[in-house]
Structure 1
Amino acid sequence: MMFLQILFTLSFLFSSSNALDFCVADLNAPQGPVGYSCKKAEAVTVEDFVFSGLRAAGNTSNLKKSVLRPAASNQLPGVNGLGISAVRLDFAVGGRTAMHTHPEATEVVVVIQGTLVGGFISSANKVYLKSLKEGDVMVFPQGLMHFQINIGESQALAFGCLSSASPSVYFMDYAWFANDLPTHILQETTFLDPDQIKKLKGVLGGTG
């Protein structure tokens, strides 16, 4: 009988009613390695779980003719700690996302409008490449370099979902050519011609 009483007490103490359902980001607090600290429960509202910033098309008047807009913990505090976020990808004709990676997130992309080529490169240096039409879905595994290109004759639109509430993005071209890494170091490590390197640095804002 005593055992049943103890079991009942423990089940009450650790019941789902006492569990933390969510941890809405306190954007006024610093962000740590595992995300933001939790906003006080009494300050949480439904607006913390809603974001309307992906409704309209983004401005694709840029070098890549594309724009990526996230709905991550900074824009949608309710996803903090839940391991998920979203992104809208708009492409003008010929638009593309440069080769990039998300070091801590897998991405699933669904094409809503237009035709894209999506691809990624495995750690074994194998290329996985596919033409994607409206309704097609492609997964880009965590940490692998990947890209999308609009190969159609009209605007393209896709939405992505990532397995992190605050996914980082690492662009290869900016990592090489948008900083002050000396040209001779890039030449030695990439086998590119110095004039090419300096031209790309000029386009992307790098020096050295």
Structure 2
Amino acid sequence: MARSSPLLLAAFTLFFLLVAPSLAADPDMLQDICVADLSSGVKVNGFACKANVTEDDFFFKGLATPGATNNTMGSLVTGANVEKIPGLNTLGVSMARIDYAPGGLNPPHTHPRATEMVFVLEGTLDVGFITTANKLVAKTITKGETFVFPRGLVHFQKNNGNVPAAVISAFNSQLPGTQSIAVTLFTSNPPVPDNVLTKAFQIGTKEVEKIKSRLAPKKS
């Protein structure tokens, strides 16, 4: 078997080092600002830039107010991404606030486009993520502490205390995307076939229908 040329090996290594960062987060920006035109019909990997820019394109006050947690999971995520702050377009960052009632859960989910870092504002949370080797990495964190969830891995936060809790989350994407595992599988449109869900979760059709009815969006 022929031995690889040192020059070829060096070229491959350099190519890998150049390409790898582009796979880790949003693409780098090519100008000072590119405020998202959320009404544009132009389809790009991100949003088209709008012409008339104001200071409000870079401002959002939604994280200052605790979210209402009187829902099934007892938690609420308030996003501060490019859809709320058009000025984030091409900048590769965003934030969110998550509020938890006592006993509240931010259920198992993934962010396909971002790593997440949470900073605890109030309360104490049990947090964790699961690796692709099916290993749970979990810890209890409290006010002033930080925890990181690697990009794409299933993770959760649970408030086991008897007082409300809240965190600020940071993401290395302007629009991280969120796929809640249960909601994604049981309320998709069109629906995942029941025979897929019954076999995957080793449950019966009645249990599938019961889960679907509990997770279905509430009609106003």
- TM-score, normalised to structure 2, is 0.80
CA contact (8 A) 1:64 1:96 kept: yes
The answer to whether structure 1 residue 195 and structure 2 residue 206 are counterparts is: yes
| Partner AA of 1:198 in structure 2 | E
1:175 aligns with 2:206: no
Contact kept in structure 1, 2:113 and 2:175, CA below 8 Å: no
SS at match of 1:188: helix
2:208 is aligned with what amino acid?
Answer: I
Distance 2:204 2:138 in 1: 28
Q: Which residue number corresponds to residue 133 of structure 1? A: 142
Structure 2 stretches lacking a partner, 5+ long? 1-29
Question: Offset of 1:65 from its aligned partner?
Answer: 0.6
Calculate the aligned-residue CA RMSD, in Å: 1.5
Counterpart position of 1:26: 37
SS in 1 for 2:209: helix
State whether residues 60 and 90 of structure 1, in contact with CA within 8 Å, keep that contact through their aligned partners in structure 2: yes
Task: State which of 174, 178, 183 in structure 2 corresponds to 1:165.
Answer: 174
Larger Cα-atom Rg: 1
**How far 1:203 moved relative to its partner?**
0.5
Q: Which amino acid is 1:46 matched to?
A: E
Write the distance in 2 (CA, Å) between the matches of 1:166 and 1:34.
11
Ranges in structure 1 where 5+ consecutive residues have no aligned partner: 1-18
State the 4+ residue runs in structure 1 displaced beyond 3 angstroms.
30-33
| 3-state SS in 2 of match to 1:199 | helix
Equivalent residue for 1:120? 129
Q: TM (normalized to structure 1)?
A: 0.85
How many residue pairs align between the two structures? 186
**Deviation string, structure 1 residues 50-72 (Cα, Å, up to 9, x no partner):** 10111111111111010001011
Aligned to 1:50: 59
Q: What SS does structure 2 have at the residue aligned with 1:110?
A: strand
Cα distance in 1, alignment partners of residues 173 and 113 from structure 2 = 7
Matched, 1:151 2:151: no
User: Which of 99, 103, 107 lines up with 2:112 in the alignment?
Assistant: 103
Q: Is the 8 A contact 1:30 1:36 kept in 2?
A: no
